[in-house]
């Protein structure tokens, strides 16, 4: 059973546009929600993360929006660039135990120049 559901599976955006990736979860015990970026042949790298005590977190062009009541969170990439082309994974964990991460299936983002 997929603990974190991610959509869309693939996304094509023009340079300068906004990329939006959505995730949903069921387990209300999750309290740490990171997004990872992965390039081909590389391991995932943390992009940005949020805890449920805030509804939004922004770091540069990357913003996480978090809706606790709907159990949904999303990644917005503003002014998307060709260098942002990668696979993005949302994840969740129960931070109090700093345990395993539950990953979504990933979104392959392509930004056209």
Partner 1 sequence: DTGVSQDPRHKITKRGQNVTFRCDPISEHNRLYWYRQTLGQGPEFLTYFQNEAQLEKSRLLSDRFSAERPKGSFSTLEIQRTEQGDSAMYLCASRSTEAYWKNTEAFFGQGTRLTVV
DSSP line for 25-85: E--TT--BEEEEEE-TTS--EEEEEE-TT-SEEEETTEEEEEETTTTEEEEEESS--GGG-
Number of residues that bind partner 1 (CB under 8 A): 24
Position 100 contacts partner 1 (CB under 8 A): yes
With 0-12 CB in 10 A as exposed, 13-18 as middle and 19+ as buried, what is 112? Answer: exposed
Of residues 41 and 113, the one with the C-beta less far from partner 1: 41
The site map against partner 1 for 9-48 (x = CB under 8 A) is -----------------------x-x-x----xxxxxx--
Q: Are 92 and 30 in contact (CB under 8 A)?
A: yes
CB of 52 to partner 1, least distance (A): 14
Question: What minimum distance in Å lies between the beta carbon of 89 and partner 1?
Answer: 5
- Whichever of 17 and 85 has its CB closer to partner 1, that residue is 85
Query: How far is it, in rounded angstroms, from Cα 63 to Cα 14?
Result: 18
For partner 1, the binding residues (CB under 8 A) are 6, 32, 34, 36, 41-46, 49, 89, 91, 95-96, 98-106
């Amino acid at each position: 059973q997929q603990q974190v559901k991610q959509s869309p599976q693939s996304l094509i955006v023009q340079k300068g546009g906004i990329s939006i990736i959505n995730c949903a979860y069921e387990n209300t015990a999750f309290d740490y929600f990171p997004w990872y970026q992965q390039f081909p042949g590389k391991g995932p790298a943390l992009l940005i993360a949020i805890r449920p005590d805030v509804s939004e977190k922004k770091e540069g062009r990357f913003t996480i929006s978090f809706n606790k009541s709907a159990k949904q969170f999303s990644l917005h990439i503003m002014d998307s660039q060709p260098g942002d082309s990668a696979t993005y994974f949302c994840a969740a964990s129960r931070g109090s135990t700093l345990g395993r991460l539950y990953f979504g299936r990933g979104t392959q983002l392509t930004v056209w120049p």
